[in-house]
Chain A
Amino acid sequence: MEKLYLVRRSLETYIGPMTLSELKRSYRRMEFGLQDEVAGNRGEWIALDDLKRLKSVNPEISKLVSDDLLGGWGISEHSQKKIIRGKKTSKKVGSTQGFRAFFIVFFIMGLISALHFSNRLKVSALFNLSQRSDPESIAQLVEADDMKSFDQRMDKILPKLIPKVRNSRNLYNQWIPYLRLLAFHRDGEIPGFNAKLLRGMGRFSAPNDCSHESWQRRWNSSFNDWALFEGKENPRVESDWARILVWDSSWMHRRRGAPGWKKISHYYEACLIMANKALRSQINQGIVPAGRRGLALGLVERISYQLARIHGDQVNVISQAMPSALKALSCIENAEDAAGITECRKSTAISNKKWSQYLQLSENRHKIFLFLRNKVALNDDQLTELRKLHRQLKIIDPLTEFSYQAESQYLVAIMLNNGSLMEARKQVGYEFPEVSFAH
């Protein structure tokens, strides 16, 4: 029985089953790439660029991949028997020429580097930095905030870049921050680039697809449900459009600067940007029914507030246009002290019991960080108070599913380090490097 293999591309589409030679041909036609997975009969799924695992499980495929990679350098590992008059000898074919070519390339690269670092010749001027399309030059445009050039350059290189990024984990990691920036600078999608790849493979309490088009569909189909945020009925936020409105802006603020993102903090912010854009355009185009316009404006205010808070901007006044439950939530998240929180509850009385319970959860969370604000260390009495507050912290938010495990660990670390917030931050920083606890 000839061995067959199945390839899983982008965790969605299968190619095959096919024989090894069919797989080789398919790979050479770029029907799948190195970050896709392959499996043999009853085998584990292994990413094609995981050469170590591939070698131990499917050595015939690892040979195909590594030959292909090494072949690009002109070094061949093939040996060929050459018959010389009655004698059989082995001679490596191609390696001498390959090494020569390798050293010539190496010498030229060394020369260019030497010239660049001497002050006699600026290589960048020679190669015209503005025309380069490597990630570093794109990064410089982003740092300089030259978004117009960034857009133009990305548009130029995109057709060739997308197939390469889809097929290479290294290239994906290098380019994904810029692809995301480009996408969410526009309409939240890139033709030919799967929404899941744009989002990333981690676990998110956010929709798979946060494109402008998907948000227009969501808003379009939810007009009649917006009133749930008046706080008179239960907080039924199962739908994506409703859930984002209760996303805790402090949680998102603590996780800004996620790896793989530039200028936009993370996928949550990207989703909010697109949701905001879609809702505004529906209001402006008159698609929102007249009777819902007020609510629509209130939802826009809430999203705008969340976006501001992600970046740490203090909001002076919570917009009165927000429906009651969202106004209360925003008020609590924005409060500067315990008195402010009490004022929030008084000024936005919510009749529904479940909303009240949820707002209480939000209060408990926010009180913890107000308590820690501007402190460097806690004394014994303060530690006792912290223990009380910690007991009120729910690890998983019941509506958003945001995990507060990092926050909980931080509080525990403060207690274990005799009240030292600095030591706690250092300790938790190893385990949760993407979360910032600076106050």
Chain B
Amino acid sequence: MRIKMAGSTHVGRVRKNNQDSFYFDSTHGIAVVADGIGGRKGGEVASQLAVTGMRDALIKVERLRPEEINPFLSSTVDRVNNQIIERGEIDPGITGMGTTLNFLLFVGDRVHIAHLGDSRTYLYDRGHLWQLTIDHNIETFIERGWMNKSDIAPNTQEGALVRSMGLTGRCEADLYDIKLRSGQIYLTCSDGLTGMVSDRKISEIISHHSANLSKLPKVLIDEANKNGGKDNTTVVVSQVVEV
């Protein structure tokens, strides 16, 4: 399998610091984006811990059988989650820090995704775009009937997260997998992109820049900033060259 990857991040036009973190490594088949939760101190610390924690765990692994992948991802997410919580307990200035996580692992002829929060992974294939990850926010959970409106405290925003890393001991990551096909592009991003750029526009930009992958993240980020850049924006793209 051969994968090409590219990634970039930007603070945006409104925020003063960048709480997003990312990493990619096409040799090991890893791509990860984490968005520190706004409104809490230490979001940038949390997102960095999430990225390095996941990266370090996967780089150390020599081989994973297909049936080992999901349990390994689950337990790694749990461990990294606890590391974030412990770090917050040591430093009172960043207690309660949190982050989203979107982690991709390319193994064999499939990609496995571990997801928490509202950062997203999309699949672009032959001019079509699909959002692969289900947002872990109140709006989506109510829409899907996984939560009752009556369970929510008044004045809670619908975009508020239901799941993330670092906030509670319970860290239930969604795990997805999909068979790869040459030419596919997997786009992993923080909500700084999806909040500013429509899916239609994202698809259009990918279509125009798929032949020049290294430029694609910056073009997408520039589009988000052009539309207001209200949040930090991070994009990692992974193109399947050969399965």
Closest-by-CB residue of A relative to B128 is A41
**Which chain B residues in 186-207 approach chain A with CB under 8 Å?**
199-200, 203
Listed stretches A8-16, A140-148, A371-379; interface member: A8-16
Q: Given known contacts A6-B123, A13-B177, is B146 in contact with A203 (CB within 8 Å)? A: yes
In whole Å, how far is A201's beta carbon from the nearest beta carbon of chain B?
A: 6
In angstroms, Cα B177 to Cα A243, docked, is 29
B200:A42 contact, CB within 8 angstroms: yes
Q: Given known contacts A14-B176, A203-B162, is B147 in contact with A6 (CB within 8 Å)? A: no
In whole Å, how far is B104's beta carbon from the nearest beta carbon of chain A?
A: 13
Q: Is A197 part of the contact surface with B, judged by Cβ < 8 Å? A: no
The proximity string for A residues 326-344 relative to B, scoring 1 for CB distances below 8 Å and 0 otherwise, is 0000000000000000000
Closest-by-CB residue of A relative to B199 is A42
B126:A1 contact, CB within 8 angstroms: yes
A12:B175 contact, CB within 8 angstroms: yes
Counting chain B residues whose Cβ lies within 8 A of the other chain, the interface size class is: 35 or more
In angstroms, Cα B148 to Cα A203, docked, is 10
Listed stretches A67-75, A264-272, A277-285, A401-409; interface member: A401-409
Closest-by-CB residue of B relative to A243 is B169
In angstroms, Cα B147 to Cα A180, docked, is 22
Interface centre among B123, B151, B169 (most CB of A within 10 A): B169
In whole Å, how far is B171's beta carbon from the nearest beta carbon of chain A?
A: 8
Contacts of A403 in B (CB 8 A): 151
Q: Number of residue pairs across A and B with beta carbons under 8 Å?
A: 77
Chain B interface main SS type: mixed
Contacts of A240 in B (CB 8 A): 170
What number of A residues sit within 8 Å (CB to CB) of B?
31
Q: Is B153 part of the contact surface with A, judged by Cβ < 8 Å? A: yes
Cβ contact of A203, chosen from B141, B153, B199, cutoff 8 A: B141
In whole Å, how far is B140's beta carbon from the nearest beta carbon of chain A?
A: 11
Q: Is A303 part of the contact surface with B, judged by Cβ < 8 Å? A: no
B203:A42 contact, CB within 8 angstroms: yes
Q: Given known contacts A11-B134, A203-B141, A238-B82, is B170 in contact with A17 (CB within 8 Å)? A: no
B134:A1 contact, CB within 8 angstroms: no
Contacts of A238 in B (CB 8 A): 81-82, 85, 168-170
In whole Å, how far is B155's beta carbon from the nearest beta carbon of chain A?
A: 13
Q: Is A415 part of the contact surface with B, judged by Cβ < 8 Å? A: no
Q: Is B174 part of the contact surface with A, judged by Cβ < 8 Å? A: yes
In whole Å, how far is A213's beta carbon from the nearest beta carbon of chain B?
A: 11
Q: Is B178 part of the contact surface with A, judged by Cβ < 8 Å? A: yes
In angstroms, Cα B127 to Cα A409, docked, is 50
Q: Is B132 part of the contact surface with A, judged by Cβ < 8 Å? A: yes
A1:B127 contact, CB within 8 angstroms: yes
Q: Is B161 part of the contact surface with A, judged by Cβ < 8 Å? A: no
The proximity string for A residues 400-423 relative to B, scoring 1 for CB distances below 8 Å and 0 otherwise, is 010101000100000000000000
In whole Å, how far is B87's beta carbon from the nearest beta carbon of chain A?
A: 13
B178:A13 contact, CB within 8 angstroms: yes
Q: Is A163 part of the contact surface with B, judged by Cβ < 8 Å? A: no
B151:A405 contact, CB within 8 angstroms: yes
Q: Is B72 part of the contact surface with A, judged by Cβ < 8 Å? A: no
A4:B125 contact, CB within 8 angstroms: yes
A239:B169 contact, CB within 8 angstroms: yes
In whole Å, how far is A178's beta carbon from the nearest beta carbon of chain B?
A: 23
Q: Is A123 part of the contact surface with B, judged by Cβ < 8 Å? A: no
Interface centre among B82, B126, B176, B178 (most CB of A within 10 A): B178
In angstroms, Cα B200 to Cα A405, docked, is 40
In whole Å, how far is A384's beta carbon from the nearest beta carbon of chain B?
A: 24
In whole Å, how far is B216's beta carbon from the nearest beta carbon of chain A?
A: 18
In angstroms, Cα B170 to Cα A239, docked, is 7
Q: Is B172 part of the contact surface with A, judged by Cβ < 8 Å? A: yes
**Which chain B residues in 117-175 approach chain A with CB under 8 Å?**
123, 125-130, 132, 134, 141, 144, 146-147, 150-151, 153, 162, 168-170, 172, 174-175
Q: Is A237 part of the contact surface with B, judged by Cβ < 8 Å? A: yes
Contacts of A208 in B (CB 8 A): 74, 172
A409:B150 contact, CB within 8 angstroms: yes
In angstroms, Cα B199 to Cα A17, docked, is 18
Q: Is A251 part of the contact surface with B, judged by Cβ < 8 Å? A: no
A12:B177 contact, CB within 8 angstroms: yes
Contacts of B128 in A (CB 8 A): 4, 17, 40-42
Q: Is A65 part of the contact surface with B, judged by Cβ < 8 Å? A: no
Contacts of A202 in B (CB 8 A): 146-147
Contacts of A17 in B (CB 8 A): 123, 125-126, 128, 130, 181
B169:A237 contact, CB within 8 angstroms: yes
In whole Å, how far is A424's beta carbon from the nearest beta carbon of chain B?
A: 15
Cβ contact of A14, chosen from B132, B153, B203, cutoff 8 A: B132
**Which chain B residues in 16-42 approach chain A with CB under 8 Å?**
none
Q: Is A137 part of the contact surface with B, judged by Cβ < 8 Å? A: no
A14:B178 contact, CB within 8 angstroms: yes
A41:B127 contact, CB within 8 angstroms: yes
Q: Is A112 part of the contact surface with B, judged by Cβ < 8 Å? A: no
In whole Å, how far is A293's beta carbon from the nearest beta carbon of chain B?
A: 26
**Which chain B residues in 40-82 approach chain A with CB under 8 Å?**
74, 78, 81-82
A13:B127 contact, CB within 8 angstroms: no
Closest-by-CB residue of B relative to A6 is B130
Contacts of B127 in A (CB 8 A): 1, 41
Contacts of B172 in A (CB 8 A): 208
Contacts of B125 in A (CB 8 A): 4, 17
Extra contacts besides A4-B125, A203-B162 (6): CB < 8 Å? A12-B174, A13-B177, A203-B146, A205-B170, A236-B169, A401-B168
Mark B residues whose CB is within 8 Å of A: 74, 78, 81-82, 85, 123, 125-130, 132, 134, 141, 144, 146-147, 150-151, 153, 162, 168-170, 172, 174-179, 181, 199-200, 203
Mark A residues whose CB is within 8 Å of B: 1, 4, 6, 11-14, 17, 39-43, 201-203, 205, 208, 236-240, 243, 395, 401, 403, 405, 409, 431-432
6 pairs of A and B residues whose beta carbons are closest in the complex: A238-B169, A14-B178, A41-B128, A42-B199, A4-B128, A6-B130
What are 10 inter-chain pairs, A to B, with CB distance below 8 A? A12-B174, A12-B175, A14-B123, A14-B176, A14-B179, A42-B129, A42-B203, A203-B162, A236-B169, A405-B151
